[in-house]
């Protein structure tokens, strides 16, 4: 028993049968917590992206400021997505770097640029996104 917007459609919720709803096959509204929404989001993605490309992602967290990576970021080839998230934890700088591509070799080569620099400068890092 709810009031829904005009032309809303329901999306089945297998967790507790409290449905989500959507408008125009574009806007999706989920009830509850992430674990409840997850199965519904999977169904939406299957519908919107029926044949997703495989993405190869590599992530690291380095104990430094992100500015040491500027030259590498400027060299990132087309077809590589990358991100940098600086963090200040316990008065120490950290940065999480993520590199992704649908070309496995290209993703690894781009990521290796970061690894090579970190090893050259003897900067401590982990191969994860840790906080």
Q: Which domains does the chain show, CATH number per domain? A: 9-48 (no CATH), 56-126 (3.30.70.600)
Per cent of the chain over pLDDT 70 is 98
Task: Kindly report the pTM of this predicted structure.
Answer: 0.64
State residue 15's pLDDT score: 87
Beta-sheet strand order (sheet of 20-23): 9-11, 20-23, 27-29
Report the distance separating Cα 69 and Cα 80, nearest Å: 15
Specify the higher pLDDT residue, 60 or 130: 60
Looking at the DSSP assignment, which residues form a beta bridge with residue 126?
61
pLDDT at residue 95 greater than cutoff 80: yes
Residue 83 in this model has a pLDDT that exceeds 70: yes
Q: How many CB atoms lie within 10 A of CB 19?
A: 18
Residue-wise pLDDT for 4-40, tens only, equals 899 999 988 888 888 889 999 889 998 878 888 888 9
Q: What residues contact 38, with CB distance under 8 A and at least 6 apart?
A: none
Percent of the chain with pLDDT over 90: 61
């Amino acid at each position: 028993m709810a009031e829904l917007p005009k032309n809303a459609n329901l999306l089945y919720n297998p967790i507790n049968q409290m449905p989500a709803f959507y408008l125009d096959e574009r806007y999706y509204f989920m009830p509850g917590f992430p674990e409840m929404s997850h199965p519904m989001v999977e169904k939406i993605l299957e519908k919107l992206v029926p044949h997703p490309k495989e993405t190869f992602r590599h992530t690291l967290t380095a104990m430094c400021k992100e500015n040491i990576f500027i030259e590498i970021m400027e060299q990132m080839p087309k077809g590589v997505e990358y991100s940098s998230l600086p963090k200040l934890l316990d008065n120490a700088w950290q940065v999480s770097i993520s590199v992704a591509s649908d070309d496995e070799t290209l993703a690894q080569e781009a990521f290796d640029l970061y690894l090579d620099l970190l090893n050259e400068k003897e900067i401590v890092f982990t191969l994860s996104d840790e906080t």
